[in-house]
């Protein structure tokens, strides 16, 4: 019998410590599928950031390094600069990337570092127990904004893709979502493009993935999917935010 669906080689035996309905498993799998697709397993290094995905090495069947909170882009820079043959997937959550690690991500993007960043945005701190993230929506409740996020006191949710896309070193930035098979497949196509650009050393690539966190949102997994769809997509619109390849094509004069 032909086997038509299996786990990627770049994924270890299926066993998850993530909560039911969490987006990390899907995000990990998308990375692993593409590592297989591009044949990168032996020279790939995944970054396990501080947060729920700190144990990414339990899932990814390739080399993994755990980095200090927020410093994944710096460590990724150090790895790819020292050994350009490495293929580095830097994986960060919203607190890691958009709060404590803001300086590192901006400067890695500006220098055009050649690694892929997966930015998992679930609008909350997961591992520490549901605190307000830089991407927590206005009005959204968390353990540190129990009355709802009030921008007058707590500032506004940061749109990371739009913030980074002006920088000179950026090659590709896109935002997908992990809320339905359709958006997951679309997100994978964004990530594939990021892999291609990183392999071609075109510069900084980042794919944001809007992702459910049922546990810390206080919802069932289906409720969390609905909440993501109804609340996050308006503020964080899906699509390609920057693609230097497409820009170059658009600028080429049409042959007469």
Partner 1 sequence: MSEKIPIGEKVLMKGNEAIGEAAVQACCDCYYGYPITPQNELTAYMSRRMIEEGRVFIQTESEIAAINMCYGSAAVGARSMTSSSSPGISLKQEGISYMASAQLPVFYVNVNRGGPGLGNISPAQSDYYQTTRGGGHGDYRVIAFAPSDVQELYDLTMLGFDLADKYRNPAMIQADGILGQMMEPLVLHEYKRPPDLPSKQPWRLGDPSTTDPLLVTSLVLNVTGMEERNLELQKKYDTITENETRFEEVGLDGADVVMVAYGTASRIAKSAMEVARAKGIKVGLFRPITIWPFPSARLNGLADRFDNFLVVEMSLGQMWEDVRLAVEGKAPVHVHGRTAGGIPQQADIVADLRKVLDAKPGEIVKNF
Contact residues toward partner 1 (CB under 8 A) are 42-45, 48, 54, 57, 60-68, 71, 74-83, 85-88, 103-104, 106-107, 111
Q: How far is the CB of 21 from partner 1 (least distance, A)?
A: 23
Q: How far is the CB of 128 from partner 1 (least distance, A)?
A: 14
CB nearer to partner 1: give 102 or 226: 102
CB nearer to partner 1: give 59 or 236: 59
Q: How far is the CB of 161 from partner 1 (least distance, A)?
A: 20
CB nearer to partner 1: give 177 or 206: 206
Q: How far is the CB of 40 from partner 1 (least distance, A)?
A: 10
CB nearer to partner 1: give 83 or 166: 83
Q: How far is the CB of 120 from partner 1 (least distance, A)?
A: 19
SS3 sequence of the chain: CCCCCCCCCCECCCCCCCCCCCCHHHHHHHHHHHHHHCCCHHHEEEEECCCHHHHHHHCECCEEEECCCCCHHHHHHHHHHHCCCCEEEEEEEHHHHHHHCHHHHHHHHHHCCCCEEEEEECCCCCCCCCCCCCCCCCCCCECCECCCCCHHHHCCCCCHHHHHCCCCCEEEEEEEECCCHHHHHHHHHHHHHHHHHHHCCCCEEEEEEECCCHHHHCCCHHHHHHHHHHHHHHHCCCEEEEEHHHHHHHHCCCCC
CB nearer to partner 1: give 62 or 236: 62
């Amino acid at each position: 019998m032909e086997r038509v669906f299996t786990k990627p080689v770049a994924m270890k035996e299926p066993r998850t410590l993530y909560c039911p309905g969490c987006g990390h498993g899907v995000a990990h799998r998308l990375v692993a599928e593409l590592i297989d697709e591009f044949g990168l397993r032996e020279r790939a290094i995944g970054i396990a950031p501080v947060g729920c995905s700190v144990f990414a090495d339990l899932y990814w069947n390739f080399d993994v390094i755990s980095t200090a909170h927020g410093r994944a882009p710096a460590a990724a820079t150090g790895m790819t600069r020292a050994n350009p043959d490495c293929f580095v997937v830097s994986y960060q959550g919203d607190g890691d990337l958009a709060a404590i690690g803001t300086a590192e991500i901006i400067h890695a993007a500006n220098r055009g570092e050649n690694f892929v960043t997966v930015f998992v945005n679930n609008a909350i701190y997961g591992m520490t127990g549901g605190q307000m993230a830089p991407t927590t929506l206005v009005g959204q409740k968390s353990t540190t904004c129990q009355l709802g996020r009030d921008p007058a006191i707590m500032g506004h949710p940061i749109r990371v893709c739009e913030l980074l896309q002006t920088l000179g070193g950026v090659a590709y930035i896109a935002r997908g979502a992990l809320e339905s098979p359709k958006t997951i497949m679309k997100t994978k196509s964004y990530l594939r493009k990021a892999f291609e650009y990183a392999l071609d050393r075109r510069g900084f690539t980042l794919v944001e993935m809007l992702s459910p966190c049922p546990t810390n949102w206080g919802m069932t997994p289906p409720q969390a999917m609905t909440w993501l769809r109804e609340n996050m997509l308006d503020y964080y619109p899906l699509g390609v935010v920057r693609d230097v390849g497409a820009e170059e094509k658009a600028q080429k004069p049409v042959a007469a």
